[in-house]
Chains A and B, each alone.
Chain A
Amino acid sequence: MKTAEYLDDGDEYQEQTLRERIKENPRAAKIWFAGFAVLVILEFGRILAGLLSLISAVIFLVDGTASLPSWVGGNVAGTLGTIPGVFAEVLVGLAMLYGVVTLLTLVGIRFNLAERYDPEMSRSKKQTVDRAAVTLLLSIVGGVLVVTPAGGILRTELTIGLVVLDSLSSALPTITSRELIPNQGHQTPDGGWSGTFLGLSPAQAWLLRFSIVIVYAVVALFWLWKGYTIYREHYREADWTPRDDTIRRFRQNYWGIFGFIVVFLFVVLAAWAPAVSPEPAEDNIFEPYGEETQFLNEETGEVESVSIGNANLNSRSDGQNTVGPNSYDDFDRYHPLGTTDRGQDMMTHLAYGARTSLIIGLTAIGLAGMIAVFLSLLTAYYKGIVDIATILASDTIISIPALLLIMMLSVIFNDSGHFLAEPMDGGFLLALTFAFVYWPGLWRSIRGPSLQVAEQEWVDAAKSYGQSPMQTMRKHMAPYIAGYIMIYASLLLGGVIIFTAALTFLGLGINPPTPEWGRLIDSGQDYIPTSSWHVATIPGLAIVFVVTGLNALGDGIRDAIDPEADVGDDAGAAAAGGGG
């Protein structure tokens, strides 16, 4: 057997990191990054605003979970007295902190404290000591914040900071912003328009802004795709990965591409809702009596102003009077899709309703998906009693009638003014309920593939060279579930959107004024045979399109991953779904 020394000298093939490879051939990367920077700068204000709303959502969640110890403490104090109450509160707080620190270490962040103290300890002892020490540290910091005024000061600073960033974001450039291309204005007595972009009519100005949004979104999508192809061609180490085949199959699947386009438009509508709406939602829908709008009074020939609420009242589409699609109302406002029966602009309602549906859908599916994946990996790996317990739990949950559960939870949480019912007027609560109700179905769908992959020999091989259960599940089993989860999740997302719309149609779920498509249909159902048919029909068609698109996308993904499509053996097909 020859010795291995020759491998060390004179070898051309070097192990390179991504950074080194980019340094070697920077031109393509530079071009792409330049384009990416341009795109970011063009919409910087909006991106910043988006980040801020994400941060405030995170703060909301953190506040919610942080109130748990005091809630527990309060309950214990109620039954057992003050001292046990305080004790319980501290205990729960410490336990939660420990849980957070453990999660951080699982994700990969390491605190190497025990190492410096005594490197002879076994690894698991070190880990526990590390976690305990960090928990203690955090709890001291937390205690200081709670007990002293420092906490209050910190919070005020944080709020001020967010407000500053918020105003900054409106000042920063955004090509799709309302300030740049305003479409609200009024007619001047001599026939022109004042207040709109370059004196164009509101319809034209709105159309211009709308087109810019679409163009920007498409260009951004294309540029991201270009980034991937550049990476694949110039910087990726492997010539071919199973993912390439999946993408190729998806591109040839026209039904899937149709679904992708529909979903893309839906997401664009939701993400650019402020830009796509002719009227700002805050004024038109949420607080109509806060602002005034100006218009040219036809009879008097003078420019008058009226509160938006009153303007809405007089622009209703309630069967007798109608402001139909692609028309102006009496107050010089343009409505591309007409008004609702309350006089609000339909397009604005649609766009913000899309946002509501999307957020609820993604939250619900995201949560349910995470629970389902975690449990399916556990049950497939350990089988036995873990499996039985999960089956019991999932069957129990499936047997609960979802509609009644939602009704009950809505009433309870809304009546008591619970903080969970506050975001999106009950939308967040709805998302949580959906997650609870849908995870069993999702778990069952991926149970088959999980059990299959657990039987594969490479899982045994990994166990045979001593891989820990968590790592085996994450590295050797999870990639194969990923494909299936994507399929079922996208199908389920359509279901969640329909269910949400159905609930708001019935009057449950989400309360006004948060816009939702189902409520639009409900309010317009009486007027379908009249001239105001658009109030119910347009949202209905929108739901049909979006859900069909989601299903088409799910089908497309499944066909791209499915074994029968192209590849013969199981291993290769499963590989196509997961890794690359």
Chain B
Amino acid sequence: MSLEMTEQRSGSDEPIIDIRNLQTAFFTEKETIRAVDGISFDIHPGETVGIVGESGSGKSVTARSLMGLVDSPGRVLDGSSVRFNHLETVREYADRFSGQTVDLQAIENQYDPAAVFDSPDIDITPQTLGYREAGEVPLADVVAAGYGDELVDESDCVFISEGDPAKPESIEEGFIELTRVSGKAQRLIRGGRIAMVFQDPLTSLNPVYTVGNQIKEALRLHQGIRGSEATKEAARLLDAVGIPDARRRVGEYPHQFSGGMRQRAVIAMALACEPELLICDEPTTALDVTIQAQILDLLAEIQEERDLAIMFITHDMGVIAEISDRVNVMYAGEIVESAPVEPLFADPKHPYTEGLLQSIPGRQSGDRLTTIEGTVPTPNEPATYCRFAPRCPKAFDECEAVHPVSVQVDEKEGDHTAACLLYPEEMGTRDAVAYHSERATRGDEQ
């Protein structure tokens, strides 16, 4: 196994992860917590997407929903769709899990959009998925969102839209729906295609086993190598993440590593199985600033070597500026602003983003540190108003009555969006409110 550049450099513009209307809720006896309430974004190969927000905004739950690590009493709700578009994996899954593969072209003729959206079980509208009317909604979107039970089984998770599933090499277009995948199929994706790096490296490594043992466990699961070959590979990985004297370190316990070393070891474990996407859940929060910089450098290096897509979750704006290509700002389970990193920092549109940037020490003049008053609310019901309104310095009356949808705030299509009643600017406030209101009642989310 070598660590050189992977051959799979995709030239297409297709995102490797495509999240649409992800909703995750926790159903406790006392209340229902809508931790993630309808977010959509995508990640392209080789890109780093940052998710930033305060504690309680739903960032970690997003990552866990992707991996299927949301435990009861929480679950990902119907209507959510997370598509994994990596063509090689789709082909492999069509071959290996042929019982859970569906050829969308074959059942296209049985698909009746009106019947699907008229049925009482469905919670979403065509507008939620981004279309104007039922007839426009492709079958792929319907089954990805978890509906269409007459056409596909509950266990089906691989959907082919171009090519013949029986001959996997012929497949040109298809995806794996991560909200429907389970069992063996899910375990192969975890680690093998999507790997996760957790926040606290001391507890994400099991203290009773050596670091080498744990890396070898991941290697055995995904690459089937064992014994001394696995040990060599583990040592190579530790060396690749910059741990000196890797051969000796392979036999040491986690407590014998320093904090930064541990996080490097965790990253090595995540890379053991050559994933396509690396999800980092606040990996540098527990480390001091100099080590933080080293880890960020390491991640950038690895990304360049392997054309890895990274989803980076943090609450630190400085780190986001350093590492991301694109940024999504989350508040109370929703994405309030989404933009490439430079326009976001140069020209933030949403008042929340402005507040976040202003509260970075050193960025403003004056003696007092500007803060955003109040705390993030716990969302219990679907939003019918702007959740940031109670804390917003630019709020006005309609903010409590109309739920803002994401709108473009500059000329380029879909590049910089914000969910605020102040935009689109050119419309003027009254028209803008009416526009948001109309789209909200129609069921639009994006």
Interface residues of A (CB under 8 A from B): 1-4, 7-8, 11, 13, 15, 122, 124, 237-238, 241-242, 383-384, 456-458, 460-468, 475-476, 479, 571-572, 574-575, 578-580
Cα A297 to Cα B246 with chains together (Å): 84
Contact A463/B204 with A7-B232, A7-B246, A11-B247 known, Cβ cut-off 8 Å: no
Q: Give the docked Cα–Cα distance between A13 and B246 (Å).
A: 11
Most chain A C-beta atoms within 10 Å of own C-beta, residue among B208, B235, B239, B248: B208
Between-chain CB contacts (< 8 Å), 8 pairs: A7-B239, A458-B206, A465-B191, A466-B189, A475-B209, A476-B206, A571-B255, A579-B208
- Residue from A2, A384, A464, A580 in contact with B208 in the complex, judged by beta carbons closer than 8 Å: A580
> Residue A4 contacts which of B67, B69, B239, B301 (CB distance < 8 angstroms)?
B239
Contact of A464 with B69 in the complex, beta carbons under 8 Å: yes
- Chain B residues near A476 (CB-CB < 8 A): 206
Contacts from B to A (Cβ < 8 Å): 3, 67, 69, 71-72, 96, 184, 186-192, 195-196, 198-200, 202-210, 217-218, 221-222, 228, 231-232, 235-236, 239-240, 242, 246-248, 251, 253, 255, 266, 269-270, 272-273, 301, 305
Interface pair A572/B246, CB less than 8 Å apart: no
The list of the 5 closest CB pairs from A to B, nearest first, reads A465-B191, A579-B208, A466-B187, A575-B207, A466-B190
CB pair B188–A7 under 8 Å, yes or no, is no
Q: Would you call B236 and A458 a contact (CB within 8 A)?
A: no
Known: A464-B67, A465-B222, A466-B221. A456 touches B203 (CB 8 A): yes
Q: Are A13 and B248 also in contact (CB < 8 A) when A464-B69, A579-B209 are?
A: yes
How far, in whole Å, are A36 and B301 apart by their CA atoms in the complex? 56
Q: How far is the CA of A373 from the CA of B191 in the complex (A)?
A: 29
Q: Is the CB of B255 within 8 A of A460?
A: no
Contact A468 B187 (CB under 8 A): yes
- A467-B184 in contact (CB<8A): no
A238 touches B251 (CB 8 A): yes
B200 lies within 8 A of A465 (CB): no
Judge whether B200 and A457 touch: CB under 8 Å: yes
**From A13, A15, A242, A464, contact of B207 by CB (8 A):** A242
Residues of A within 8 A of B272 (CB): 465
- With A457-B203, A460-B198, A464-B196 as given contacts, are A479 and B208 in contact (CB-CB < 8 Å)? yes
Q: How far is the CA of A475 from the CA of B203 in the complex (A)?
A: 15
A residues less than 8 Å from B301 (CB atoms): 1
Residue of B nearest to A571 (CB): B207
Judge whether B208 and A465 touch: CB under 8 Å.
Answer: no
Residues of chain A with a CB closer than 8 A to B195's CB: 464-465
Residue of B nearest to A240 (CB): B253
Of all chain A residues, the one with the shortest Cβ separation from B205 is: A458
Q: Tell me the minimal C-beta distance from B28 to chain A in angstroms.
A: 13
- Contacts A383-B71, A457-B198: A1 and B305 contacting too (C-beta < 8 A)? yes
A4-B239, A122-B96, A574-B207 given as contacts; is B251 within 8 A of A465 (CB)? no
A432 to B428, CA, bound (A): 80
Q: Cβ of B217: which chain A residues have Cβ within 8 Å of it?
A: 462, 465, 467, 475
* A7–B204 touching, CB < 8 Å: no
Chain B nearest CB from A469 CB (Å) reads: 9
A467 CA to B235 CA, complexed, in Å: 21
Closest-by-CB residue of A relative to B215 is A465
Q: Is the CB of A578 within 8 A of B72?
A: no
Q: A residues within 8 A CB of B186?
A: 466
- Alpha-carbon gap, A352 to B222, bound state (A): 55
Q: Which residues of A contact B202 (CB under 8 A)?
A: 571
Considering the complex, give the chain A residue whose CB is closest to the CB of B217.
A467
Measured between beta carbons, the chain B residues less than 8 angstroms from A1 are 3, 240, 242, 301, 305
Contacts of B208 in A (CB 8 A): 242, 479, 575, 578-580
Complex contact B192–A466 (CB within 8 A): yes
Give Cα A571–Cα B239 distance, bound, in whole angstroms: 26
Interchain CB contact under 8 A, A465 and B190? yes
A1, A465, A578: most-surrounded residue (chain B CB, <10 A): A465
Q: CA–CA, A525 to B208, complex, Å?
A: 53
Best-buried of B3, B195, B206 by chain A (most CB within 10 Å): B206
Q: Are A466 and B191 touching (Cβ within 8 A)?
A: yes
User: Is there contact, CB below 8 Å, between B188 and A466?
Assistant: yes
Minimum CB distance partner of A387 in chain B: B72
B239 touches A458 (CB 8 A): no
CB distance from A485 to the nearest CB of B (A): 16
Contact A237 B204 (CB under 8 A): no
Also in contact, A15 and B231, with CB within 8 A (given A238-B210, A457-B198, A465-B273) = yes
The distance from the CB of B386 to the nearest CB of chain A, in whole angstroms, is 33
Residues on A with beta carbons closer than 8 Å to the beta carbon of B210: 238
List of A residues within 8 angstroms of B206 by Cβ? 458, 462, 475-476
Q: What is the minimal beta-carbon distance from B304 to any residue of chain A, in angstroms? A: 10
Q: Is the CB of A15 within 8 A of B187?
A: no
Closest to A477 in B: B206
Q: For residue A463, which residues in chain B have a CB less than 8 angstroms away from its CB?
A: 69, 190
With A7-B236, A15-B228, A238-B253 as given contacts, are A465 and B218 in contact (CB-CB < 8 Å)? yes
**Given A7-B235, A15-B231, A458-B203: A465 in contact with B209 (beta carbons within 8 A):** no
**How far apart are A120's CB and chain B's nearest CB, in angstroms?**
10
Residues of B within 8 A of A465 (CB): 190-191, 195, 217-218, 221-222, 269-270, 272-273
- How far does the alpha carbon of A462 sit from the alpha carbon of B95 in the complex, in Å? 26
Taking the closest CB of chain B, its distance from the CB of A506, in whole angstroms, is 46
Q: List the A side residues contacting B96 at CB < 8 Å.
A: 122
Q: Check A384/B72 contact, CB under 8 A, given A464-B191, A465-B191, A466-B221.
A: yes
Sample of 14 further A-B pairs with CB below 8 A, known A464-B67, A465-B272: A1-B242, A4-B236, A7-B235, A7-B236, A383-B72, A384-B72, A457-B203, A462-B217, A464-B196, A466-B190, A466-B218, A467-B187, A468-B187, A479-B208
